[in-house]
Structure 1
């Protein structure tokens, strides 16, 4: 794995979970099941750790999708706390959960870890909990702000939390696994991924793409990529053909940043 992309290896993950009083996992509410780590969850439960999923970015997902995913996880016996680190929603609920663990364990100090698939908002959550911008943030894998090593932060009196490198996505969702495991410029086939993202966005709202990019939606993702490349001036010098790879990377980046409104219901992906 390139130096720009660090993942928490299973051995290190196991060691950190074993030493933790609690484990928090961030998932992206736009695709809750596709951005979770089954391996992380299994280890946390096997070691009998206090565990909760932080359902992040609920502000950019319809309320009914959030409610369905909360029910999905609760039916599985998993504690889930809906939050938006960007909008400072859910901070009190997370802190109260940690305070309850501290009281339950009867300790003056508890230390836990926050982990998750890259770009689900781990560092943003830490900043929300601390009420300070201490953890570096980037919306894109492999960019400055991507967590490459563990760091510990004080959340509240007697509550400390480790920020960790990303954990590998659940392999069931190819798109999420691919775009969260490599920087956009390193993707081998950005076009096929962008085509699927464009199709998903148009299925949710036919006018969404036109509103964002000011390009008329014809119903053909490839034509849309060509139009976007021409609009942005990405043209091959010799052939004068549009560079659709650049347009495709733009679509992927906009999805990761939350600009492109795409979401998947939990029951669609279970």
Structure 2
């Protein structure tokens, strides 16, 4: 019996249903696109694997499996090593040996510069000049009978009256000059202040900020006088032209980040060395000719004693703030020294009752937050230390005024009687006035609502690995090395003479 054919159902639909389907498909596609943006990993195409038709499939699969096992073993060993390092910390002796090796290399560079230099410029920070001096540095220079000059750098960060006091104090010991290194970002044609610009600067009566070098004229005049003193006696006349100048090697020494490389760049008027507010940028001594008579030796910063307080070393910028395990003691030291009003005005925070309260307010104000809006106090601490180092938090120290303080300073630093200043006092005062007039006056808003921190004079730096007799020992080592070379040369010449005699005997026999 033939089955009756059922009537084929039509695919026609009402427009209402059609548009509803289109709308739902459109909405579905929109949701997919949105989810792909939110979770792109979810929609990654899976690796189909190696097809069966691929030749050498078994070898490739085996190699991939071995590679996975190898990387899994490496990750496992790294995890176990991290656990062992946490449970059994590395002894400090190995780190100290490495640091000691670095210290010795820097000391050798310093002794090499002192040996070759005719004049040594010791660069100190004008904010804490005594705290950035080094006793052994000056003793070594004087023992080597070299001229020593103190450069009071960063004079734009302290009041002008304070600079004058420090100049008068230091000139009881050595020739001292004020200076401000150039801070322009360009690589060539670094500017220096000129007399005409200074007169216009003073007559203007406005508050200016300058990145130009200040104090260059006084330093160049002093080095020029020293260079004339280095000329041979037969050529010394009253004429002060360049023909009467001798060869002068100038060594620039000091603690890290006192501005040694910046002074070289300022005098050269172009960036020939790396200058940064991060300590340890200069790795070895570099010789830079200033002109055909004067040569500048840029040296790495003198490494201080590792047994010193790390917080003090960080605040003097002899050590990077990031190396501190806990920067809180350094923050406490800053809060003890700086008036509360200056910090409140500078950071725009409310009055604080403790160090923790200050760090929480500072982190919240500067947007340094962890997950969940928890204040990142370590980041706020490092920010405060950075502002202290770069001079945004203003402070300065006063020179010793009491007789007892002066006697203590004199016992630490004996004034040099070997070399007197090559410039007259009137000339020095003239150059001082010129440099201080060029220093920009600070913003009235800062000085009106906040006051500088006036600190107690810091302790001078002592280096346990540097002694005044090291230079003599270095000379003896060089002499012994030269004598060994001479002995080797004599032995070689003697052996050559014996060879010549043997050749002559062979010729006569033949």
Asked if 1:38 is matched to 2:175, the reply is no
Q: Shift of residue 164 of structure 1?
A: 0.8
Q: TM-score, normalised by structure 1?
A: 0.86
Partner of 2:112: 15
Q: Shift of residue 67 of structure 1?
A: 1.8
Contact persistence 1:210–1:217 (CA under 8 A): yes
Q: Write the deviation string for residues 136-186 of structure 1: whole angstroms up to 9, x where unpaired.
A: 1111225xxx21122111223410111111013589887543342322111
Q: What is the distance in 2 between the residues matched to 1:165 and 1:178?
A: 17
Q: Write the deviation string for residues 22-73 of structure 1: whole angstroms up to 9, x where unpaired.
A: 1111111011111122221111111111111110111110122212222221
Aligned counterpart for 1:178 among listed residues 314, 317, 322: 314
Greater per-residue helix proportion? 2
Partner of 2:288: 153
Aligned counterpart for 2:376 among listed residues 218, 243, 246: 243
Partner of 1:97: 222
Q: What is the distance in 2 between the residues matched to 1:219 and 1:55?
A: 37
Instruction: Tell me: higher relative CO, structure 1 or 2? Use CA pairs within 8 A at least 6 residues apart.
Output: 1
The 10-residue stretch of structure 1 (228-237 or 157-166) with the greater mean CA deviation from structure 2: 228-237
- Compared CA separation, residues 37 and 201, structure 1 to 2 (3 A): same
Q: What is the distance in 2 between the residues matched to 1:217 and 1:156?
A: 55
Greater per-residue strand proportion? 1
Q: What is the distance in 1 between the residues matched to 2:309 and 2:171?
A: 21
Asked if 1:229 is matched to 2:366, the reply is no
Q: What is the distance in 2 between the residues matched to 1:175 and 1:79?
A: 32
Contact persistence 1:36–1:169 (CA under 8 A): no
Q: Which runs of 5+ in 1 are unaligned?
A: none
Aligned counterpart for 1:197 among listed residues 334, 337, 344: 334
SS at match of 2:270: coil
The 10-residue stretch of structure 1 (178-187 or 246-255) with the greater mean CA deviation from structure 2: 178-187
Q: What is the distance in 1 between the residues matched to 2:273 and 2:296?
A: 12
SS at match of 1:34: helix
Contact persistence 2:125–2:154 (CA under 8 A): yes
Larger radius of gyration: 2
Contact persistence 1:140–1:257 (CA under 8 A): no
SS at match of 1:53: strand
Q: Shift of residue 227 of structure 1?
A: 0.9
Q: What is the distance in 2 between the residues matched to 1:231 and 1:93?
A: 44
- Compared CA separation, residues 261 and 17, structure 1 to 2 (3 A): same
Aligned counterpart for 1:256 among listed residues 384, 389, 401: 389
Contact persistence 1:195–1:221 (CA under 8 A): yes
**Alpha-carbon RMSD:** 2.5
Q: Write the deviation string for residues 173-216 of structure 1: whole angstroms up to 9, x where unpaired.
A: 875433423221112332111221233221xxx43222321223
- Compared CA separation, residues 134 and 11, structure 1 to 2 (3 A): closer
Q: TM-score, normalised by structure 2?
A: 0.47
